[in-house]
A and B are shown apart, each in its own frame.
Chain A
Amino acid sequence: MSIKGFIFDIKRYSINDGPGIRSTVFLKGCPLNCLWCHNPESRRLKPEKVKSDSYTWSIYSQSCDPGIIGKEVTDLAVIEEVEKDIPFYQESGGGVTFSGGEPLLQEEFLFSMLSLCRQKGIHTVVDTSGYAPFSVIKKIYTVTDIFLYDMKIFNNELHEKYTGVSNNKILENLAGLTAMGNKVIVRIPVIPGVNDTDVNIQEIVDYLKPLNILGINLLPFHNSASSKYSRMNIENKFIGTKSLSGEEMESLRMKFALAGKLVSVGG
């Protein structure tokens, strides 16, 4: 029996979401509300209307109304799409990444897709905010090869201010997840003026130091989502924010490297 869920995109030749050449499945719906979100169209679970006066290249589709973002699909339909690139995954050591939104929000749908990938020998990555009950993480863990686990702000008040949720559960889950095995790459989106402060970086470094993780990715902020904000009619609070320079990113990288972690800039 197939299970249905909501996605808003599948991107092929995805090269920043885990090892090798990958396809990334973007699941719709997210409990967080990060002010810098790159995928504002992913927040709501259900398909939604966007402003669209013309057909655009990126949302070409034969059956969908181009003015709608997101659709309900079966797990089998998703797997049928992602298995088209198996030759590329095999050649490059790649696979499929489930991202979002927050993929853990659609627990059964995600679990089923991951299980199908495992049956077909496809390597899997789950890209998560970690904001979910631990029982969900435990279950997903059994069918996932690597987690890309977001770590944004250590201070709980600031975390709530910028993302809309507390980070207590996120930190607890990370500890629990890394205790089960070494499958986690921690990803830190570096948002200028928000979490690139010395204090925050030091707190994260200290927290991650004892954890059993594969590595750390620092993701530079870029303003590529601004057209999405206007099409979705949401205010973009980060308009005009400048990305950090290469040197600034490098100095951040060193702080993590000194703590003995494998750390890279970019995905």
Chain B
Amino acid sequence: MNERIRKLREQSLNAVPVISSERAELITEFYKKENGKYSVPVMRAMAFKYILENKELCVNNGELIVGERGPAPKSTPVYPELCVHSENDLDILNNREKIPFKVDADTKRILLQEVLGFWTGRSIRDRIFSEVDDEWKNAYNAGIFTEFMEQRAPGHTVADDKIYHKGMNNIKNDIRESLKLLDSYNDPEAFYKREELKGMLISADAIINYAKRYSSTLYEYALEERNEIRKAELLEMADICTRVPAEPPQNFREALQYYWFIHLGVITELNTWDSFNPGRLDQHLFPFFKRDLDKGTLTKESARELLQSFWIKFNNQPAPPKVGITARESSTYTDFCLINLGGVTAEGENGVNELTYLILDVIQEMRLLQPSSMVQVSKMNPDQFVKRALEIIKTGYGQPSIFNTDAIIEEMLRQGKSLTDARQGGASGCVETGAFGKEAYILTGYFNIPKILEITLNNGFDPVSQMQIGIKSGDPAGFSSFEELFNAFNKQLKYFVNIKIKGSLIIESIYARYMPAPFISLLIDDCISKGRDYNSGGARYNTSYIQGVGLGSVTDSLASLKYNIFDKKRFTVSEMLELLGNNFEDGPKWKQILYATPKYGNDDDYADSIAVKVFDAFFDAVDGRPNARGGQFRINMLPTTCHVYFGSVTGAMPDGRKAYEPLSEGISPVQGMDVKGPTAVIKSASKIDHIKTGGTLLNQKFTPHLLEREEDVDKLVKLIRTYFRLNGHHIQFNVVTADTLKDAKAHPEKYRDLIVRVAGYSDYFVDLCSELQDEIIKRTEHKGV
């Protein structure tokens, strides 16, 4: 990388995440003055406009793409209309050991004196907790599930290519068209639609004006600049900001700056989770890239430099601060922007192009936490592409992750999406399937499946919270067969899924009514033509996901009950409960359970068939049920860091896991229990039907030794291809030895740059909590023969 990029990268790496009160002050000011004067969507749009008109602009030395969410890199706003932070919250953010955000005295004073009072009781978070019932709260507090939307807005959507063809002025024309078509005589929702569309118009103007502010500022900087080269750059940037996003981009560089304004718009309007992202970047930008190269107005080197600048912009925006349970389920600075590369075109052809490889070079060279990156691998793509991705993974960086395009398309077709929309989609966040630019696919929260078994074994009582939170599904000592036990488990599962869905319906309705997002609605089809907001079913597809956690742990636990109690009769239910109550005490029975009981991940049908049974039960309880936005609930299987949090609220389990230790993650086997190598893990993992999900997550740990020679990498390509032929959705590799990780835990100062794969994302190893560090160290390391 050149000197410019090196400095910008250093600046990004060295920036300390701090809380900025700017956005909170502006929105509070605006609401204090204007509240009640306008309809909700217009009010939201005007507040957005007010923020963009008044926020400080930031131009970093030497940068080529402008715009920061806060006043400076890693200066992170808060969103009091969603979640207002108490003094205690701010102190925790400032002082916590992992993932802190510094809060200086001024910021703290402003937030507590001017912001806290106004939003208390009015924030979405406060409303949610006053609207959900005790049943929901008890289950939430006991760690049965988490709730994504309690302090972050429903996000999880990805840009398609429309912004590269349409400027905001074109989009405004579309809105005016839609306004014209409103049937105010016959459509009882016409008023609601009109207000929503008015909000969209205001939001479009807001972003155009924001770019114009940048243009003026850049022009002023240019006038003061002594260095002629930089002066010319600043003038060019000023010029670009007068054109985009108002008009469609004319070249590669404008396309990047356009996207970046859009990105800032989305993450300023609300703190959407997961963060917005450009999705199929190599597909979208390739026409500009090729045209500019052919015309001679761009070189590969300048394209590389622009992409590197773009990468740094992402790294400058940590995920907004989370507190409480939400911080525990997702303890990371990553905001889950996941760049998709490769896959297929809208026509179903090989999508890998020259730009794909250039972006892979950028990923390797930048080695940043953000944005995350992935390769979509279809049977249409060449092996060379997969090999290039593995070369980067081999350096032990945990990125890019690897996805199966053909499975993703099939998943979307099953959900009723069109083939073209499916082919232009991909995965975002960790592993979540979506139709980019056309879908609002909201993650509602993680679901602790092993905890359901713990409650079943206690007849509805939760031994950790000491409350009867479940139903009475029968005294397990009276069960005479595994089927009886499983039926009781299934009853509890359904009961808690119902509670979760009941809460989600309320929460989605609160967002639809009180927290429309007119800006993001500009970007997602068919919000404009329907005149409906992204948060109330405006998107073409509206999915709500519940993310199952701990498949490996619950499978091994059920397998242990079946094997040890009902088949081998090694001990009775009561003896097992006693063992669990005593946390096993390391006796010979514990060893029998650990080492001489079938385990998921070894291609052993005894255990794997139970994984399928649990998966199907979870699927049946959730899939296809209506959400509040005209779409359906679906499942996916991923944990972020929630397997650690869920473990910490779950007692000893019949698989030999001791109380409060982490659960298994994704659909990976219990850490260290897969002993037959990666082909066996893959066979086990592919026995569940991935096509019925919106994403599954499989992590594998390889020692560097297993990838030493070129033919080893070739064989790994084939291993991945086989998993994908078996319909596996996603696989990712940590190429690092357990010894290295142990050393990094002991000497964090030596390993500040060690990035590892956690779940559906990578993180700095030294930023992980100690339980998560141990969990990753314990994952089975495939060494090969």
B719 at the interface (CB under 8 A from A): yes
Does A17 interact with chain B (Cβ within 8 Å)? yes
A266 to B709, CA, bound (A): 9
CA distance in complex: A92, B676 (Å): 19
What's the least CB distance linking B700 to chain A, in Å? 11
**Interfacial chain B residues near A60, Cβ < 8 Å:** 595-596, 675
Instruction: Specify which of B596, B598, B706, B718 lies most central, judged by the most chain A CB atoms within 10 Å of its CB.
Output: B718
Say whether B595 contacts A66, CB under 8 Å: yes
Residue with the highest number of chain B CB atoms closer than 10 Å, among A17, A20, A60? A60
A15 proximal to B (CB < 8 A):
yes
Q: Is A118 an interface residue (CB 8 A)?
A: no
Stretch of B307-315, B629-637, B661-669, B720-728 lying at the A interface:
B720-728
Residues of A within 8 A of B474 (CB): none
A166 within 8 A of B: no
Check B722–A13 contact: CB distance below 8 A: no
Q: Tell me if A62 is interfacial: C-beta within 8 Å of chain B.
A: yes
Which of B597, B679, B709, B782 contacts A21, CB < 8 Å?
Answer: B679
Q: How far is the CA of A13 from the CA of B675 in the complex (A)?
A: 12
Contacts A66-B595, A266-B709 known; A85 to B785 CB distance under 8 Å? Answer: no
Known: A60-B675, A84-B603, A91-B725. A13 touches B595 (CB 8 A): no
Residues of B within 8 A of A14 (CB): 784-785
**In the complex, what residue of chain A is closest to B592 when comparing beta carbons?**
A55
Q: Nearest B residue to A87 by beta-carbon distance?
A: B722
List, in ascending order, chain B residues with CB within 8 A of A55's CB. Answer: 591, 594-596
Contact yes or no, B785 A17, CB < 8 A:
yes
Q: What residues of A have a CB within 8 angstroms of the CB of B682 in the complex?
A: 88
Knowing A57-B675, A60-B595, A62-B596 are in contact, say whether A92-B785 is a contact too (CB < 8 A).
Answer: no
Q: List B contacts of A92 (CB < 8 A).
A: 715, 718-719, 722
Given known pairs A84-B603, A92-B718, the reply for A13 and B677 (CB within 8 Å) is: yes
Determine if A167 is an interface residue (Cβ-Cβ < 8 Å): no
What residues of chain A lie closer than 8 Å to B680, measured between beta carbons?
A: 12, 84
- Which one of A23, A24, A62, A94 has the greatest number of beta carbons of chain B within 10 Å? A62
Q: Is the interface of B mostly helix, strand, loop or mixed?
A: helix
Instruction: Contact check, A13 vs B784: say whether CB atoms are below 8 A apart.
Output: yes
Chain A residues 109 to 158 lying within 8 A of chain B, measured CB to CB, are: none
A24 lies within 8 A of B709 (CB): no
**Complex interface: chain A residues within 8 A of B726 (CB):** 87
Chain A residues contacting B679 (CB-CB under 8 Å) are 12-13, 21, 23, 84-85, 88
Contact of A91 with B596 in the complex, beta carbons under 8 Å: no
- Please name all residues of chain B whose beta carbon is closer than 8 Å to the beta carbon of A21 when the two chains form the complex: 679, 715, 718-719, 722
B719 to chain A, nearest CB (A): 6
Docked complex Cα distance between A45 and B706 (Å): 31
Report whether A13 and B718 are in contact in the complex, using a CB–CB cutoff of 8 Å: no
How many residues of chain A get a CB closer than 8 Å to chain B's CBs?
A: 27
Which of B591, B603, B683, B722 lies at the interface centre, i.e. has the most chain A CB atoms within 10 A of its CB? B722
Q: Which residues of B contact A94 (CB under 8 A)?
A: 715, 718
Among the interface residues B598, B672, B678, which one has the most CB atoms of the partner chain A within 10 A?
A: B678
Check if B715 sits within 8 Å of A20, measured CB to CB.
yes
Chain B residue numbers with a CB within 8 Å of A20 are: 715, 718
Chain B nearest CB: distance from A162 CB in Å? Answer: 24
CB of B706 to closest CB in A, whole Å: 8
Residues of B within 8 A of A91 (CB): 718, 721-722, 725
| B89 at the A interface (CB under 8 A) | no
Does B483 interact with chain A (Cβ within 8 Å)?
no
A58 at the interface (CB under 8 A from B): yes
CB neighbours of A13 from chain B (8 A): 677-679, 719, 782, 784-785
**CB-CB nearest in chain B for A85:** B679
In this assembly, does A16 line the interface, its C-beta being within 8 Å of a C-beta of chain B? Answer: yes
Distance in angstroms between the alpha carbons of A242 and B138 in the assembled complex: 62
B365 within 8 A of A: no
Decide if A209 is an interface residue (CB 8 Å cutoff): no
A27-75 with Cβ < 8 A to chain B: 54-55, 57-58, 60-62, 66
Q: Which residues of B contact A62 (CB under 8 A)?
A: 596-598
> How far does the alpha carbon of A21 sit from the alpha carbon of B716 in the complex, in Å?
9
Q: Mark B696-720, 1 if CB is under 8 A from A, else 0.
A: 0000000000100101100100110
Q: Which residues of A contact B725 (CB under 8 A)?
A: 87, 91
A15 and B683 contact, CB distance less than 8 A: no
Q: Which of A13, A21, A55 has the most CB of B within 10 A?
A: A13
Of chain B, the residue at the smallest CB distance from A11 is B785
Complex: chain B residue closest to A224, CB-CB: B783
Most chain A CB atoms below 10 A, which of B595, B682, B709:
B595
| A92 vs B715: C-alpha distance when bound (angstroms) | 7
Query: Given A13-B784, A16-B785, A91-B721 in contact, is the A84-B683 Cβ separation under 8 Å?
Result: yes
Q: Smallest Cβ distance from A224 to chain B, in angstroms? A: 10
Report the minimum CB–CB distance from B5 to chain A (whole Å): 34
* Distance in Å: Cβ of B674 to nearest Cβ of chain A: 10
1/0 per residue B578-610: CB within 8 Å of A?
000000000000010011111000010000000
Give A22's nearest chain B residue, CB to CB. B785
Contacts of B675 in A (CB 8 A): 57-58, 60
Q: Nearest-CB distance from A50 to chain B (Å)? A: 16
Distance of A64 from chain B, by nearest CB (Å): 9
A88 — which chain B residues lie within 8 A by C-beta?
Answer: 679, 682, 718-719, 722
Contacts of A15 in B (CB 8 A): 706, 711-712, 715, 784-785
State how many angstroms separate the Cβ of B378 from the closest Cβ of chain A.
15
A16 to chain B: which residues have CB within 8 Å? 784-785
- Scan B653-697; emit 1 where CB is below 8 A from any A CB, else 0: 000000000000000000010011111101100000000000000
A residues 82-108 near B (Cβ < 8 Å) are 84-85, 87-88, 91-92, 94
Q: With a CB–CB cut-off of 8 A, which chain A residues contact B718?
A: 20-21, 88, 91-92, 94
Contacts of B712 in A (CB 8 A): 15
- Identify which of residues 278-326 in chain B touch chain A, using a CB-to-CB cut-off of 8 Å: none
- Could you tell me which residues of chain B, from 615 to 649, have a CB within 8 Å of some CB in chain A? none
**What's the minimum C-beta distance from B49 to chain A, rounded to whole angstroms?**
55
A92 to B782 Cα, complex, angstroms: 19
**Residues of A close to B721: CB separation below 8 A:** 91
CA distance A55 to B712 in the complex (A): 31
Docked Cα-Cα span, A11 to B678, in Å, equals: 11
Taking the closest CB of chain A, its distance from the CB of B740, in whole angstroms, is 18
Q: Taking CB as reference atom, which chain B residue is nearest A97?
A: B785
Shortest beta-carbon distance from B339 to chain A in Å: 27
B676, B709, B715, B784 — which one has the most chain A CB atoms within 10 A of its CB?
A: B715
Digitize B713-753: 1 where CB-to-A-CB distance is under 8 Å, 0 elsewhere: 00100110110011000000000000000000000000000
Given contacts A14-B785, A92-B719, A94-B715, 17 further A-B contacts (CB under 8 A): A15-B706, A15-B711, A15-B784, A21-B718, A21-B722, A23-B679, A54-B591, A55-B591, A55-B595, A60-B596, A60-B675, A62-B596, A84-B603, A85-B683, A88-B719, A91-B721, A92-B718
For the complex of A and B, 10 pairs with smallest distance between CB atoms: A92-B718, A13-B677, A55-B595, A14-B785, A12-B677, A91-B722, A11-B785, A12-B679, A13-B679, A88-B722
30 sampled A-B residue pairs with Cβ under 8 A: A12-B676, A12-B680, A13-B677, A13-B678, A13-B784, A13-B785, A14-B784, A15-B711, A15-B712, A15-B784, A20-B715, A21-B679, A23-B679, A24-B785, A55-B591, A55-B595, A57-B672, A60-B595, A60-B675, A62-B596, A87-B722, A87-B726, A88-B679, A88-B682, A88-B718, A91-B718, A91-B721, A91-B722, A94-B715, A266-B709
Q: B interface vs A, CB < 8 Å?
A: 591, 594-598, 603, 672, 675-680, 682-683, 706, 709, 711-712, 715, 718-719, 721-722, 725-726, 782, 784-785
